[in-house]
Amino acid sequence: MPKFLSQEAALEFLNRIHAGKKRYARDQFLLIEKTIGEYSIEVVETALKYCLTNELNSAVDFKDAAIHFSNGKTTDSAPPVNINPGNIPEIEVAKRDLQDMIKQLKGGTGKWLN
């Protein structure tokens, strides 16, 4: 199944990205592929047309357009994962007196704690 309905428009968009971002083209294409998997084909096509019309030649612009045209809705239906804060141990950070630090910066003789 093709990832874009309009193959010619998709090829033009990908060629523009490749021409402008040769070094990062692979990363750009991977982000586009990920975005296509997250949104409906209608949203993807609308985002593609928007990027071509406005000469937005990057995967981030494509993803932003997809987010905008989908009103933030993705096709991913995985439920959010709740993290139980009770499993995180209490950690107390060592604190030093500010005057001790100032004394060290002025050339004090003591050693730093860390």
Q: What pLDDT is stored for residue 75 in this prediction?
A: 57
94 falls within a domain? no
Instruction: Tell me what the mean pLDDT of segment 20-42 comes to.
Output: 92
107 located within any domain: no
Output the pLDDT for position 88: 62
The pTM assigned to this predicted structure is 0.61
pLDDT tens digits, one per residue of 48-106: 999 999 999 999 999 999 999 998 565 555 666 666 666 666 777 777 788 877 777 77
Domain residue limits at 32: 7-70
Write the secondary structure of the chain as one string of H (helix), E (strand) and C (coil): CCCCCCHHHHHHHHHHHHHHCHHHHHHHHHHHHHHHHHCCHHHHHHHHHHHHHCCCCCHHHHHHHHHHHHCCCCCCCCCCCCCCHHHCCCCCCCCCCHHHHHHHHCCCCCCCCC
Number of domains composing the chain = 1
Report if residue 39 sits inside a domain.
yes
